[in-house]
Structures are given as C-alpha cells and as structure tokens.
Amino acid sequence: MEYKYQTVFVIGAGASNEIGMPTGSDLRNSIIEILTDIKNSQSYKDSSIFLDFPDHIISAYNGIYAYSNYNKNTFEKNLAIIDEITSSLELSPSIDNLLYDFKDNDQFQVIGKIAIVSAVLKAESECALCDLTNFENIKPTMEGTWYYSLFFKLTEQVASLDEFIERLKNIYFIIFNYDRTLEYYLFNMIKQFYKTDDIKTAKIIYNMNIYHPYGQPGFLGFQKGTIKYPFGNVKEINFFQLSSMIKTFMLDNNNDAHERKTACDFLYNAYKVFFLGFAFHSQNIDLLFPNKVTKSNIKEQDGKAYIRHSNYYGTFYDISEVNQNDIIGKIKSKNEGVNFRVSNNKCVDFFKEFSNYITFC
C-alpha cells in the first residue's frame, strides 16, 4: 500500500507529563533540588553518609568533578557557583531560559546541563514506563495513555510488518522533550506486537523520522548516534559526557542544521500536523517555521498546479481562549495555508476526540 500524505507529530512536555515526566516548571524545580543536594553532599564526601545520597545526585556530583578535570580546587570553585545558579533559576521560568540568559558563562552552561541529565534520567526511572505502582489507570502496555492510542493508530489496518515500516516513512516525530519515552515505548511495543527480535526492532526505530531539537541524555542502544545510554539509568559514574548532548534554544541548534532542515521541510510538506502537549513558545514556533509559507507557494502534482493546505490539530489544555487565539495567529502568520482545530483536552482524550482524523489509512 502506498502512503501518500505526510503526517507530523510535534510533541511537548505536556504529552510526556501524562506518564510522569516533568513539565518545564517541574524540571526547573527538580534541578534546583538536585543542585542543592549536590552542594550539601560535599560536606559528607569523605564519609559513608555520601553513599546514602540518591544515585542521580552522586552521578551528577561526579559529572561536575569530571568537568573540573578531577582537580579539587577547580571542583570547589564550580560547586561554589551552584548557589548563583539556583538563586537565578528560582527567578527564571525554565532552565532553558536561564542558560540562554547566561549563554557566555561556561560554568552555568555545563553544570546546568549536567543537572538536566540527572533530572531527566531520574524522571525516566520513575515514569509509568518503568514503574507502574503510582499509575493506577495505566496498564503495562500503557493502555489508558496517548502512547497506547498512538501505537493503535500506527498499526491500524496494516496487513504486514513491511507495510507498517512503509507507513512510518511518511510520519515524522519532532520531540521537544529531553526524554526518550516515545522511542523506548515504540521499541518495546513493536517487539511485542510483531514478534521481532532486538536487531530487527532496532533497525525499524533507527530508520524512523525522529528529531529532538533540544537533544537528549544519550542515545538508546537502538538509536542513531554514538553516545549510548540506557533508559532511566541513574547509576552512571558521571553525567558530564551525557551533558554534551543537551541543547538549549537559540544557542546550540545550529549544530544539527541538516537534521533540523529535514524536519522543517517535512513539516512544510505535511498534510496533517498534530501538536501534543506543546506549549507554543515563540522560540519554538520560530524553530519549526524558519521561513514563512504563503498561499502563493504553488507546487506541481500529477501535472496540475495546486496550493497546498495543511490541517493542524493541537491540544490546548489549560491555555486560555485569548492565548489560544494568539497562538493560532502566530502559526498562521508563519503558514497562511493552515486550517487549525484545537482541543482543550489532555493528549489521551485528544486521541478520542479526533480519532477519525488521526489516521494513516
């Protein structure tokens, strides 16, 4: 079966928050706690009490030590700046905003990113994918979440594994979160559903269209990339190396210019775009739409000229009507051919509300 139309899912923190991952403000608060614990742990470094600190704190502590080239004096100077970072972060809407505001401060950048790695990996280890004890309405297959609904839609009316793989070629996931929950979930579900082995499943995920504009704390074993790190593992010797994979808006995105252009081109040509748990911050809208799309953009298809129109759908949970209208206005100022439909529901209910539109058949 030939799949003609391209579909894009733009995924934000509100989406993964439904299985226990942090929102932007949650991540900020978690980082403040982590940095405070790192600073406090220094008093116990030479005693057995230090080993009682959580693994993600010890790994972050060791990461800062590695960043200090294992030099005690440099390390103490880096620890001393933690108070400056936390006090500023308490007045900032997010860690990304803080790192942008202090873009010329190498200590802020590296220590902040080490803390991001620590917070995200800890959250992965405690989310519904790893620990269902705190999620009464979620089954091991993630039934009761949008992850399950997405997989159901991806496999709907697919006659074979080869047809499923062919369908994935016309689907792109732009994930603004640092976590790897979607990739980890799809890997395990594909194995379970199609009875594929690790190697075959890894190849499928490897060839999927997935882009993390802000990076991630290491690539899972089946992902493209050189620095590998397991899902939800907080027992690393240090997080310094992993921190190099974290990017912040307006600062590090030029490092992946080709991958970004590919994702934006796919979005430009998409027939359907679904925004899930996405906050629609101006800098993220600019990242997605670097160039304005006008109605005069005419293409040829089957020998006929046509003006492309895209259908956008988005979750606007807990966003006021005034802000909704402003967001849609910004999107349409970037792409004049957009028809935008919104939902005030969370992602899991969004899939129910727009089930007839989230199709690939």
For residue 130, with 0-12 CB atoms within 10 Å meaning exposed, 13-18 middle and 19 or more buried, which class applies? middle
Over range 313-328, report the average pLDDT: 96
* Co-location of 162 and 61 in the same domain: no
Q: Report residue 91 as tokens.
A: 């007045």
**Residues forming a β-bridge with 172:** 8, 209
CB-based contacts of 95: which residues, under 8 Å, 6+ apart? 24, 27, 28, 31, 89, 112, 115, 116
Of 156, 124, 86, 144, nearest in space to 230 by CA: 124
pLDDT more than 70, % of the chain:
90
Question: Do 124 and 232 form a contact (C-beta atoms < 8 A)?
Answer: yes
Per the listing, tokens 């928050």 go with 17
Q: Is residue 47 pLDDT above 90, yes or no?
A: no
Residues 6+ apart with CB under 8 A from 160: none
Confidence check: pLDDT of 48 > 80: no
CATH number at residue 152: 3.40.50
> Model confidence at 236, in pLDDT bands (50, 70, 90)?
confident
Last-in-domain residue among 64, 93, 126? 126
When divided into structural domains, the chain yields a total of: 2
For residue 169, being part of any structural domain is answered with yes
Q: How confident is the model at residue 44 (pLDDT cuts 50, 70, 90)?
A: low
Domain presence at residue 239: no
Q: At residue 105, does pLDDT exceed 90? A: yes
For the ranges 128-132, 209-213, 283-287, 307-311, the lowest mean pLDDT is seen at 307-311
Q: Report pLDDT digits (tens) over 148-186.
A: 999 999 999 999 999 999 999 999 999 999 999 999 999
Structure tokens at 29: 């608060």
Mean pLDDT of 71-75: 93
Say yes or no: 17 and 76 in one domain.
no
Judging by beta carbons within 10 Å of its beta carbon (0-12, 13-18, 19+), is residue 53 exposed, middle or buried? Answer: middle
Of 126, 150, 183, the domain-final residue:
126
Query: For the CA atoms of the chain, what is the radius of gyration?
Result: 21
3-state secondary structure of 296: coil
Distance of CA 333 to the CA centre of its chain: 25
What are residue 7's DSSP bridge partners?
Answer: 171, 272
Q: What span, in angstroms and rounded, lies between the C-alpha atoms of 89 and 92? A: 5
Q: How confident is the model at residue 110 (pLDDT cuts 50, 70, 90)?
A: very high
Q: What share of the chain is helix, strand, coil (3-state, %, to 5)?
A: 50, 10, 40
Residues 41 and 100 in one domain: yes
Same domain membership, residue 15 and residue 107: no
Among 126, 161, 187, identify where a domain stops: 126
Whether 90 and 192 share a structural domain: no
Whether pLDDT at 203 is above 50: yes
Residue with tokens 């993964």: 16
Same domain for 195 and 330?
Answer: yes
Give me the mean pLDDT over the 234-255 stretch: 79
Shared domain for 113 and 156, answered yes or no, is no
Residue 115: inside a domain: yes
Distance CA 219, CA 205 (A): 12
254, 219, 147, 260: CA torsion to nearest 10: 20
Whether residues 272 and 195 share a domain: the answer is yes
The fraction of the chain above a pLDDT of 90, given in percent, is: 71
Q: What is the mean pLDDT of the chain?
A: 89
Specify the amino acid at residue 82: I
Residues 320 and 173 in one domain: yes
Is 303 part of a structural domain of the chain? yes
pLDDT at residue 120, as a whole number: 97
Cβ atoms of residues 188 and 141 within 8 Å: no
Residues 279 and 156 in one domain: yes
Within-domain flag for 261: yes
**Of 53, 220, 248, 188, nearest in space to 121 by CA:** 220
Rounded Cα–Cα distance for residues 327 and 270 (Å): 19
What gap in Å lies between CA 72 and CA 37, rounded to an integer?
19
Strand partners, 273: 8, 312
Q: Are residues 310 and 194 in the same domain?
A: yes
Tell whether 227 is covered by a domain.
no
236 part of a folded domain = no
pLDDT band of residue 2 (cuts 50, 70, 90) is very low
Greatest alpha-carbon pair distance for the chain in Å reads: 76
* Per-residue DSSP letter, 227: S
Q: What's the domain range around 268?
A: 7-21+134-214+249-353
DSSP three-state, residue 311: strand
Residues 253 and 153 placed together within one structural domain of the fold: yes
Owner of token pair 């992965």: 124
Strand partners, 306: 299
Total-model pTM: 0.92
